Every structure is written in structure tokens, then in C-alpha cells.
Amino acid sequence: MQSHRKLVHTTTIPIRWGDMDAYGHVNNTVYFRYMEQARVEFLEKCGYDVIPRESGAVIINASCTFLVPLNYPGTVEVAMFCGHPGRSSVPTHYEVRLQGAQEIFATGDAKIVWMDMATGKSVPIPEKLRADLLL
């Protein structure tokens, strides 16, 4: 059973020739960059600096399931979903498609933790962000 997810952001990213690997498709590491870009854009849209001074979002784990190879040329569409936030963390999920396609080429997950940059310890998610994430 899938947990409840809220679509919070969608972005498009051109596939670059340099994203390809020796097998002729987008390298597996690049998918993590695509998901990262969606996450950064979402946090910036919510008003949070991605280079935090006091506290901010960090990733404590990330995974990707590769379903269909992506190839150059094309434009990737990444949909970012958030689950129910905890005290200091929120699960995120990603769907990677070619722009305009219904087929999912990859799925990903990452857990965002809000952290105090001075101590390296988790802190509560800001209330404004928590309100934005609630389903």
C-alpha cells in the first residue's frame, strides 16, 4: 500500500549530450541530479535558501528505480511529491518522465531532514513549510 503523497512541484530539464554514458543512455547518477533540481526548486519556491546559514534541508537517504532508459535528445519532466511530515523530516518521492509522456521512466525517493547547521542535529521543520506539506 502506498502512503499518501502530495504533488508539490514539477520541473522540466533538458537532457544534455553529456548526461549519456557508454551504453548510449542517461547515466544512472544523472537521475539523482534531476531529482535534486526538482527538490532545490521546490525549496526555493517555498522561500528557503538552499545554501542555509542557520538551518536547512539535507538528504539522509536517496534511492532510484530505473524503469526505462532515457536518451538524448529530450526533455525530462520530474514530478516531486511529499508525504506526511514528521517532527524534523519529510519523505519525498519523484516520478521521472519524458516531457509529454505518460510512461514513468524512473521513480525515486529521498528523506529530507531539517538540520541545525552549527550542531549537525535535526531540528523541527519550519511551521510554514509544515503547513505547505500537510495533505
What distance in Å separates the CA atoms of residue 54 and residue 107, rounded to the nearest whole number? 31
pLDDT, residue 135, reads 57
pLDDT, residue 1, reads 39
What cell does 120 get? 549537525
* The architecture CATH gives domain 6-133: Roll (3.10)
pTM for this model (two decimals): 0.92
CA dihedral 122, 129, 90, 2 (to 10 degrees): 170
**CA separation (Å) from 124 to 36, 60, 82?**
22, 15, 16
What distance in Å separates the CA atoms of residue 37 and residue 105, rounded to the nearest whole number? 17
For the chain, the average pLDDT equals: 93
* pLDDT tens by residue, 24-38: 999 999 999 999 999
The ranges of the chain with pLDDT < 70 are 1-3, 135
pLDDT, residue 49, reads 83
* pLDDT tens by residue, 87-110: 999 999 999 999 999 999 999 999
